[in-house]
Amino acid sequence: MRKYLKVAALTMACVMVLTGCGSRTREAMETVTQTAETETVVETVPETETETESVEEETLSVIGEREVVDGQMQSYLTGEWKDEEVVTRRPIAVMIPNNAQAMPQYGLSSASIIYEAPVEGRITRLMGIFEDFDELDHIGPVRSSRDYFVYTAMGYQAIYCNWGLAVPYVADLINSDAVQNISAGVEGIEQPADEAFGRISRPGYATEFTGYLFIDGLMEAVDRLGYDWEYDEEFVPQLTFAADGVRAEYPDAQEVTVIRPGGTEENSGGYGAYNPWFEYNSEDHLYYRFQDGEAQIDERTGEQLAVSNVILQYCHGEVRDSHDYLAFGVHGVGTALVFTDGKVIPASWSRMEGDGVPPKFYDADGNEIVFNQGKTWICNIWEEFSDSVEFE
């Protein structure tokens, strides 16, 4: 059965538990299936069924402190084993257009986390969080910034990469000491990094969709600007991942195979003019991305984009001016829907520790949600258009 969810910030009981604030209650999230009873179950295969071993495996069910084994360590962004120098290096956050004129994008499947949010005209823009980019020659096309993307990147301690005008709502932030950015030399950028960007011929494409971030130039610019590649001691990983060899399952949660963050053409909302959706494949446990009626492909690999987890993070949004520039609240608390292993888990998010800490996601009992290892796609949903979200 198709479900339409109406979601508003500060409404779920779990949000009120987290914040201690129940005075601003609005319309509550509709119950999906037995929300209060939803629990994380980690599937394990113990050699024996002793009580001692069951307790021990429960403590090992999620990734805790990372350790280096044979030169590799588990990623903070995906939970997967990668080279130590990759996962201990600050990631880059790259702004990538998502409208039809930009397709296909190059290198996007290498991002560990992809953020998607509306911009003017009700199209969406993407921000890829890349930690493993050494084998890429370039990424893109690359477009301009919005401040809510910058604030999101700051939660990962990411070096922020964009090419375009620094509109009035972004210039002060992106040029501040709080943001280390690699930006093309356009209006509003005080420390341009032109060596990191270049154009690639794309016959039939407008010039604005021919600009790319080149990795060799990126490395040169980071060195010239004196940016540090290492996380600082205050770094906080965002997601809690299931341990190796196990899956986080939610047996009481509703099964979902199709997610439409912006609804359908008949029920279109504020989330993209190209009707994006995800389809779950139970064989490989991945969510495959579609847009504008067809599979969304990475030009580099020729393969369809796919992730292990999808999050719909509901945010307060506003139209700022006559140019339709938007603002989104990516701090504070709110509601969310988490999709993993073919299930939907009603959730809340909280980001109360400042710009340098990403939002955390919690179940109805206030426990951190356990995600399955792999890539994650996070959709910032404008609360005003929550009725348009569909899944089935």
The SS3 of residue 343 is: strand
CA 271 – CA 385 distance, rounded (Å): 8
The structure tokens listed for 130 are: 């890349």
The structure tokens listed for 3 are: 């479900």
Label residue 18 by pLDDT band (50, 70, 90). very low
| 126: β partners | 96, 116
CA 271 – CA 390 distance, rounded (Å): 12
Mean pLDDT over residues 70-74, rounded? 98
For the cut 60, the answer to whether the pLDDT of residue 25 exceeds it is no
Instruction: Give pLDDT tens digits for 336-384.
Output: 999 999 999 999 999 999 999 999 999 999 999 999 999 999 999 999 8
Instruction: Give pLDDT tens digits for 135-165.
Output: 999 999 999 999 999 999 999 999 999 999 8
CB 40 within 8 A of CB 370: yes
**Sequential DSSP letters for 216-277:** HHHHHHHHHHT---BPPTT-----EEBPTT-EEE-TTSEE-SEEETT--GGG--SS-TT--E
pLDDT of residue 4: 39
Label residue 252 by pLDDT band (50, 70, 90). very high
The SS3 of residue 108 is: helix
Whole-number percent of the chain with pLDDT over 70? 83
For the cut 80, the answer to whether the pLDDT of residue 289 exceeds it is yes
Q: Is the peptide bond before 104 cis (omega within 30 degrees of 0)?
A: yes
CA 133 – CA 61 distance, rounded (Å): 29
CA 109 – CA 130 distance, rounded (Å): 10
What is this structure's pTM? 0.88
CB 151 within 8 A of CB 130: no
For the cut 90, the answer to whether the pLDDT of residue 51 exceeds it is no
For the cut 60, the answer to whether the pLDDT of residue 60 exceeds it is no
